[in-house]
Amino acid sequence: MSKPDNREDNVEHLQNAVQNTIENYREAEDYLEEFGDEIPAREKGQIEEKNERRKHSISGFREEIKDESRHQQNS
């Protein structure tokens, strides 16, 4: 038997994911600022691409938070 869909803590989980992703983004930016001239161009490009994906993820998480908040208000 499957568990019922309990969405009560989804917003909290999503907010944690946003915070973790922002932290990883900032750490990568700090790393690039400090070592960007010393690392190979390929590695630098990979970090920059990953940070672009992180920005998109943050945006997506925030939309999910809005959706979950609306869902909880309507429940």
**Does residue 18 contact residue 61 with C-beta atoms inside 8 Å?**
yes
Interatomic CA distance for residues 5 and 46, integer angstroms: 37
pTM of the model: 0.84
Kind plus residue range of the DSSP H or E element containing 47 = helix 41-74
- The pLDDT score that the predictor gives to residue 59 is 97
Nearest to 14 by CA among 72, 62, 46: 62
- The pLDDT score that the predictor gives to residue 5 is 63
**Does residue 14 contact residue 61 with C-beta atoms inside 8 Å?**
yes
Cα-trace Rg, the chain: 17
Walk along the chain (75 residues) in steps of 10 and give the mean pLDDT of each run: 70 95 98 97 98 98 93 78
